[in-house]
Structure 1
Amino acid sequence: MTAIATTSLTRQPAELAADLGQSFEQYGFAIVADHGIPTDLIARAQEQARALFALPEEQKRQWHQTGQGGARGYTPFGIEQAKGATVRDLKEFWHVGRELPAGDPLAVFMAPNIWPDDVLPDFRPTFLELYARFEQVGAHILSAIALHLGLEERWFDPTVEQGNSVLRLLHYPPVPPEAEGAVRAAPHEDINTITLLLGAEEAGLELLARSGEWLAVAPPPGALVVNIGDMLQRLTAGRLPSTTHRVINPTGPAAARPRYSMPFFLHFRPDFLIDPIVPGGEAPITADDYLKQRLREIKLA
């Protein structure tokens, strides 16, 4: 296990800010318990995800849209490739994004969701509810980060209001014999602001420590793993690091088991200007321009 201590979202604001700030500055990761996402909702979401990925390949592919960077719906096995990697990751996934009202000007940045309503009628309501819960928890964590950075507690609220956040349902099938150097998720950093991950109890997630050692991330059951993304690293000029991490292939009997997880990639508003709040940072860039740049690097656009 890593030396990351588990903190609780029920702690007093100053205490939570100190816990998260220390962990993020040291590891780029934190573990959060008592987050308030109902266990029955998580169980329903896991059930729906398993049912989705169990569908025949040709049926899932009808929900794959080319040319959109995997922003919505289904992305088949073996498409995403980490920046700098030479082989594709061993995973398939589904993206749920923000539901915008008709005529919303941000619709130019966010495509409509794709829903498998005809075969999974409970899928849409389950994941819209989970998306909303993730947003609430993410706002709470961002308020603690703001306090740690010496900002007003609600500083981040307008930066993520109607943000381009994405809930990803991940399925790593049993490791194929012909993997040939491919892993479930090659070493990478997340593009977004912060990531909130459910389902990391299964062994395999590792972070790259400053010492150069890979450390396992093993949260207690039901806890969230939270990590800093590139956008927040850029905004803080590196004070909060976006740490390289990976999901390695299991060995022995575990290699024959699938792995499922649900990361929520919390994003800034597409029109938010990522302008470093401390000296020494990189040139300002809008969140949408930065996202497009990074999606090209990982072969999703």
Structure 2
Amino acid sequence: MTSIPSVDLNDFISDDPVKKQNFVNAIGKAYEDIGFVALKGHFLDDTLVENLYKEVKNFFSLPTETKQRYEIPGIGGQRGYVSFGKESAKGKKEGDLKEFWHFGQYVENNPKLEAEYPKNVTVNELSEFNAIGKETYKMLEKTAKYVLRALALHLGIEETYFDAFIYNGNSILRPIHYPPIKEEPKEAVRAAAHGDINLITLLMGAQGRGLQVQNHKGEWIDAMAQPDELMINVGDMLSRHTNNKLKSTIHRVINPPKELWGTSRYSIPFFMHPISDMKLDVLEGCIDDNNPKAFEDITAGEFLNERLIELGLIKK
């Protein structure tokens, strides 16, 4: 695999059973082979995307002391602002060269989950920032639902299997700013090699070089989406749940060539998480003589907590 396959969600949601099955086959094969796919036909329209980038740039342009007022202690960076260099990849001591913001779930009809999740943080200086963030969150969540439905069919389970687990799930929308690089970084990169924690990640802003994916031979492949595509990859939770049938691929964001150090990069991933009591136990249909059960039973909440400790975002 030397490039990222491209699929169109319109084929899956069409009334044509052949197109739908072809989509299921294509996305299933891509996720077994490399764990990444470029997706057209998502639910974000051009105006929403344009407005989101405008608001995100406005936020990251605010003075540092203003942004830091939105950094909430004691919640592991789950909502609001996380300042530059605060997060590092698992096993890496250098902080990544980025700052970011977190929008979280807008819980409906569930007081228990409302109490469990940290509250979303309102930016007072920007009147549109929170509303546009919420709308983007909802459209990406809707897109993710259909991708997971296709993967359920590929796995031979009920099409809507994931629906109940992702409704009110602990998903995160993360606008990231990689600021201009001012001096030769010693060891740090914009985002060190890592796998994602969650079920699937939907990434906006993968146009232009920077994002790289590691294939099965250990080679790094540039992952570049078209302007109308989202890059979508499998996370560790889904990989674990499927006994590594669907691959959570290691990826990174490399520093640009020196002549582009003076430029910012923005990317906006949506991390699709289930509710915390979803069991990530390996699916029976993914176990056979050649692929014995590779993982202990664990819930999504327990797994997330373990990983946030490894990332240095929460303390033991």
Same fold (TM over 0.5): yes
Q: 1:21·1:148 contact (CA, 8 Å) conserved in 2?
A: yes
Q: 1:276·1:282 contact (CA, 8 Å) conserved in 2?
A: yes
Partner residue in 1 for 2:290? none
Measured after TM superposition, the shift of residue 244 of structure 1 is: 0.4
Alignment of 1:195-234 (within 5 A): 195-234=201-240
Distance 2:110 2:41 in 1: 37
Instruction: Specify every segment of 5 or more residues in structure 2 that has no aligned partner in the other structure, as ranges.
Output: 12-18, 288-292
Measured after TM superposition, the shift of residue 210 of structure 1 is: 0.8
Moved over 3 A (4+): none
Partner residue in 2 for 1:94? 101
Q: 2:169·2:275 contact (CA, 8 Å) conserved in 1?
A: yes
Deviations 1:25-55 (A, max 9, x none): 1111111012131110001000000000000
Partner residue in 2 for 1:235? 241
Distance 2:10 2:125 in 1: 39
1:283 pairs, out of 289, 296, 303, with 296
User: Which residue identity does 1:38 align to in structure 2?
Assistant: D
Partner residue in 1 for 2:4? 4
Moved more, 200-209 or 107-116: 107-116
**Structure 1 length normalisation: TM-score?**
0.97
Partner residue in 1 for 2:25? 18
SS in 2 for 1:144: helix
Measured after TM superposition, the shift of residue 84 of structure 1 is: 1.1
Partner residue in 1 for 2:116? 109
Partner residue in 2 for 1:79? 86
User: Which residue identity does 1:143 align to in structure 2?
Assistant: R
Q: 1:169·1:263 contact (CA, 8 Å) conserved in 2?
A: yes
Q: 1:109·1:288 contact (CA, 8 Å) conserved in 2?
A: no
Partner residue in 2 for 1:35? 42
Q: 1:89·1:183 contact (CA, 8 Å) conserved in 2?
A: yes
SS in 1 for 2:81: strand
In structure 2, relative to structure 1, the CA distance for the partners of 1:111 and 1:102 (3 Å cut) is farther
Moved more, 170-179 or 83-92: 170-179
Measured after TM superposition, the shift of residue 234 of structure 1 is: 0.6
Distance 2:41 2:181 in 1: 33
Partner residue in 2 for 1:183? 189
C-alpha RMSD of matched pairs (Å): 1.4
SS in 1 for 2:145: helix
Share of identical aligned residues, percent? 39
Q: 2:43·2:142 contact (CA, 8 Å) conserved in 1?
A: no
User: Which residue identity does 1:237 align to in structure 2?
Assistant: N
Q: 2:43·2:140 contact (CA, 8 Å) conserved in 1?
A: no
Q: 1:95·1:166 contact (CA, 8 Å) conserved in 2?
A: yes
Measured after TM superposition, the shift of residue 187 of structure 1 is: 0.3
Measured after TM superposition, the shift of residue 286 of structure 1 is: 1.2
Do residues 252 (structure 1) and 258 (structure 2) align?
yes
Partner residue in 2 for 1:144? 150
Measured after TM superposition, the shift of residue 86 of structure 1 is: 2.6
Partner residue in 1 for 2:163? 157
Instruction: Specify every segment of 5 or more residues in structure 1 that has no aligned partner in the other structure, as ranges.
Output: none
Distance 1:161 1:261 in 2: 25
Partner residue in 2 for 1:174? 180
User: Which residue identity does 2:294 align to in structure 1?
Assistant: G
